[in-house]
């Protein structure tokens, strides 16, 4: 089990009558990517602002557990300046100095974190290489495309080699090409740093995060690995049986009839079957366990499926189960 790197205890933030974050208690482990997943306005950004010391909590505290802070348990706000300097934050909004070049931005922010000019420049150059911005090193930020600016925005959080990297909606507004680059880059970071990523995109959370904390209306609903979350609160697995290659117009309906004995409301068998476009999607709490019985029933009916895919439920399913709403609602 990895060491706990950061702990929040009962973090609460209120704005008048609105409680933006309510009693958030969370542990972040060294070397993991923790995804904070929730719809817009769920309290994700408020939470990370408190974690980074940019926002003073009304109650609770943030306890960083690295370096000297590990011993002292220094709250991030107040006397935790040395701790804050070990955090790299990539805000949701693009925050750059319009009239500085890419390299100047990185060098400058590196110097603000206490690096020497040459060292900051060297690191800036390396980071620009890593996110394919090397050819733009001498271009002013205002001349870059939105996707490039967002990539540079991300690099600004890394130039001082922080222990903890906090990325607020890093894929927001990215074109598909940049999204792939950024996603791969975050995954590469995870090997050497601890990363907190906020997102309202369940696909992003699923692909990037080692663990996902689902937040809604300022409350932490659940935190676990994406797989465990989907298994624990989702409606089980989905088995996709493809009959596209089979020369039988009635294959789908015959398959439905053949599988009907396997329905079981108690949860041990099939819970639902959807048929569409030559594909049968069989829902079951544990599809793997009943897969032999399914294949046997199909064979007995003289049906030979083209392909069989087993997939898990998505985090969207989990969110719906927890809140009764979709993430985008």
Partner 1 sequence: MKLLAIFYKTLREQKRDLLLLILSLIFAPVFVLLYRAWFPSGSTTYGVLILNQDAGAQTADGATVSAGEQISEALKALTYANGSPMLSVRQVTDRGAAELLLRDREAALLVVIPPDLTASIEAARLGQAVEASPVTLVGDLTNPYYAVAAVLASSAVDQYIQAATSQERPIPFAEEPLGASAARTEFEIYVPGLLVFATMMMMFTVAMTVVREAESGTLRRLQMACVSSFDLLGGISAAMVLIGVAAVLLTIATAWAIGFRSQGPMWLVVVVGAMTSVSIVGVGLIIASLSRTVTQAFLIANFPLALFMFFSSAVFPVPRVTLFTVGGRAIGLYDVLPPTHAVAALNKVLTLGAGLGGVIYELAALAILSAVYFAAGVWLFSRTHLRAD
Q: Which is nearer to partner 1, 29 or 97 (by Cβ)?
A: 97
Q: Which residue has the tokens 């070990």?
A: 86
Which of these ranges, 51-59, 190-198, 310-318, 321-329, lies near partner 1 under the rule CB under 8 A? 51-59
Sequence-ordered list of residues with C-beta below 8 angstroms from that of 136, at least 6 positions apart, any chain = 102, 128, 144, 148
Q: How far is CA 173 from CA 83, 177, 201, 322, 327, in A?
A: 30, 12, 12, 27, 17
Q: Does 97 bind partner 1 (CB under 8 A)?
A: yes
Query: Pseudo-torsion of CA 185, 40, 29, 67, nearest 10°?
Result: 90
End-to-end Cα spacing for the chain: 36
Q: Does 77 bind partner 1 (CB under 8 A)?
A: yes
Q: Does 218 bind partner 1 (CB under 8 A)?
A: no
Size of the site for partner 1 (CB under 8 A): 24
Q: Does 262 bind partner 1 (CB under 8 A)?
A: no
Q: Does 72 bind partner 1 (CB under 8 A)?
A: no
Q: What is residue 28's three-state secondary structure?
A: strand
Q: Which is nearer to partner 1, 78 or 302 (by Cβ)?
A: 78
Q: Does 87 bind partner 1 (CB under 8 A)?
A: yes
> Min. distance of Cβ 28 from partner 1 in angstroms?
17
- Interface pick for partner 1 out of 19, 30, 54, 312 (rule CB under 8 A): 54
- Interface pick for partner 1 out of 2, 18, 25, 56 (rule CB under 8 A): 56
What is the edge-to-edge ordering of all strands in the sheet holding 59-64?
A: 18-29, 4-15, 59-64
Q: Which is nearer to partner 1, 96 or 298 (by Cβ)?
A: 96
- Contact of 130 with 207, CB cutoff 8 Å: no
Q: Does 96 bind partner 1 (CB under 8 A)?
A: yes
> Min. distance of Cβ 152 from partner 1 in angstroms?
12
> Min. distance of Cβ 121 from partner 1 in angstroms?
16
Q: Does 91 bind partner 1 (CB under 8 A)?
A: yes
- Contact of 182 with 148, CB cutoff 8 Å: no
Q: Does 52 bind partner 1 (CB under 8 A)?
A: yes
What is the C-alpha to C-alpha distance for residues 165 and 6, in angstroms, rounded to an integer? 12
Q: Which is nearer to partner 1, 141 or 327 (by Cβ)?
A: 141
Q: Which is nearer to partner 1, 156 or 320 (by Cβ)?
A: 156
Sequence-ordered list of residues with C-beta below 8 angstroms from that of 102, at least 6 positions apart, any chain = 124, 128, 133, 136, 137, 138, 139, 141, 144, 152
- Contact of 70 with 54, CB cutoff 8 Å: no
Site residues, partner 1 (CB under 8 A): 49, 52-56, 77, 81-82, 84-85, 87, 89, 91, 93, 95-98, 109, 112-113, 156, 160
């Amino acid at each position: 089990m990895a060491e706990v790197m950061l702990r929040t205890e009962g973090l609460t933030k209120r704005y008048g009558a609105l409680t933006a974050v309510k009693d958030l208690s969370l542990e972040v482990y060294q070397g993991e990517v923790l995804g904070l997943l929730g719809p817009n306005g769920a309290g994700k950004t408020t939470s990370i602002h408190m974690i980074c010391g940019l926002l003073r909590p009304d109650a609770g505290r943030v306890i960083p557990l690295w370096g000297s802070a590990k011993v002292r348990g220094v709250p991030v706000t107040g006397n935790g300046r040395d701790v804050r300097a070990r955090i790299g934050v990539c805000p949701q909004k693009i925050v750059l100095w319009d009239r500085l070049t890419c390299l100047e931005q990185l060098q400058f922010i590196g110097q603000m974190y206490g690096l020497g000019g040459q060292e900051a420049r060297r690191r800036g150059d390396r980071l620009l290489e890593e996110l394919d911005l090397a050819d733009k090193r001498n271009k002013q930020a205002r001349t870059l495309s939105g996707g490039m600016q967002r990539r540079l925005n991300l690099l600004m959080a890394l130039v001082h080699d922080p222990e903890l990297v906090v990325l607020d909606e890093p894929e927001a507004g990215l074109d598909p090409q940049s999204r792939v680059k950024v996603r791969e880059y975050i995954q590469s970071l995870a090997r050497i740093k601890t990363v907190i990523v906020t997102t309202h995109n369940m696909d992003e959370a699923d692909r990037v995060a080692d663990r996902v904390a689902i937040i809604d209306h300022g409350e932490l609903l659940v935190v676990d690995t994406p797989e465990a979350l989907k298994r624990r609160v989702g409606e089980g697995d989905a088995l996709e049986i493809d009959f596209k290659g089979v020369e039988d117009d009635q294959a789908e309906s015959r398959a439905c009839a053949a599988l009907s004995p396997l329905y079981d409301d108690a949860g041990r068998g099939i819970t639902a079957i959807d048929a569409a476009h030559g594909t049968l999607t069989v829902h079951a709490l544990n599809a793997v366990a009943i897969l032999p019985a399914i294949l046997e029933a199909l064979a007995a009916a003289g049906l030979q499926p083209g392909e069989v895919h087993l997939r898990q439920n998505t985090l969207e399913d989990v969110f719906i189960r927890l809140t009764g709403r979709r993430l985008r609602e």
